[in-house]
Amino acid sequence: MSTRTFQVWRGDADGGDFDEYDVEVNEGEVILDVVHRIQAEQAPDLAVRWNCKAGKCGSCSAEVNGMPRLMCMTRMNLFEESETVTITPLRTFPVVRDLVTDVSFNYEKAREMPAFRPPADVKPGEYRMSQVDVERSQEFRKCIECFLCQNTCHVVRDHEDNKEPFSGPRLFIRAAELDMHPLDDRDDRRDQAQDEQGLGYCNITKCCTEVCPEHIHITDNAIIPMKERIAGDRYDPLVWLGRKIFRKGKRPEDTTAAQTKTE
């Protein structure tokens, strides 16, 4: 057991400052243990969001010494005993109080994404996928929606006005997952990612991958392949010629609707 010094940001949407606490820390503890001890012994009104304390709910996201982390997965032995540890709320999202932020931006962006749409002629219970297709998207399903990737992405972290046209890496892996799904009947996933979700804003710095607690290769396995497929669709002359000849790129019902509207 040792006594360690912590600076915890306290405040709300109108502003705040750091409060300093000297806390006893036991071997094997994590940052969330320390926060709970501060609540129990020194600051019972300290606001913090948490749930499972097992790295699976994504609730306890914060910034520890400036690094976006899950507090329940950040062990105290990562820091020197003489080091002052700072704990701040996620910088990208509005502060509610203390370490709690309003992450509703992410859910609003998720609602804008069209859901999975199976083929009309395939009934529930008749869906069939090869194992390789299952494995391709399985990595993306590990996401626990901690939104650390959203928080660290400089597109919105440093530019508040980009939040309207930009959905962020968490939604990009969802778009990539659906785009590569063999049973998803939509053919506009790529256009939507580029035109409506702001995929083009991403300049693949891989900061989102670095902070992901589930070690999802967001940039290499989702964003870059998606960008490559979009570039192929839009700028490959052979693809362009093939669409001109075979009229691919329009669903039959879209063509019918267009004809009806013209008439």
Condensed to tens digits (0 to 9), the pLDDT of residues 126-157 reads: 888 889 888 888 999 999 999 999 999 999 99
Average model confidence (pLDDT) across the chain = 91
Report the number of distinct structural domains present in the chain.
Answer: 2
| Domain CATH number, residue 177 | 1.10.1060.10
Distance from C-alpha of 5 to C-alpha of 25, rounded to nearest angstrom = 10
Averaged pLDDT, 24-33? 96
DSSP tag of 73: G
Please tell me the predicted confidence (pLDDT) of residue 145: 97
Domain match, 16 and 88 both? yes
Averaged pLDDT, 160-171? 96
- Which residues are bridge partners to 68 per DSSP? 63
pLDDT tens digits for 204-240? 999 999 999 999 999 999 999 999 999 988 888 887 7
Domain match, 133 and 198 both? yes
Return the structure tokens found at 54.
């097992």
- Which of 35, 66, 101 is the last residue in one of the domains? 101
Domain that holds residue 137: 104-262
Would you say the pTM of this structure is higher than 0.95?
Answer: no
- Which of 76, 101, 126 is the last residue in one of the domains? 101
Rounded to an integer, what is the distance from CA 206 to the centroid of its chain? Answer: 13
Identify the helix (H) or strand (E) that includes residue 2: strand 2-12
Return the structure tokens found at 168.
């962020």
- Which of 46, 81, 101 is the last residue in one of the domains? 101
- Main-chain dihedrals φ then ψ at residue 8, nearest 5 degrees: -115, 130
Domain match, 158 and 83 both? no
Instruction: Enumerate the H helices of the chain as residue ranges.
Output: 31-41, 104-112, 131-138, 148-152, 154-157, 169-179, 189-195, 207-211, 218, 224-235, 237-246, 252-262
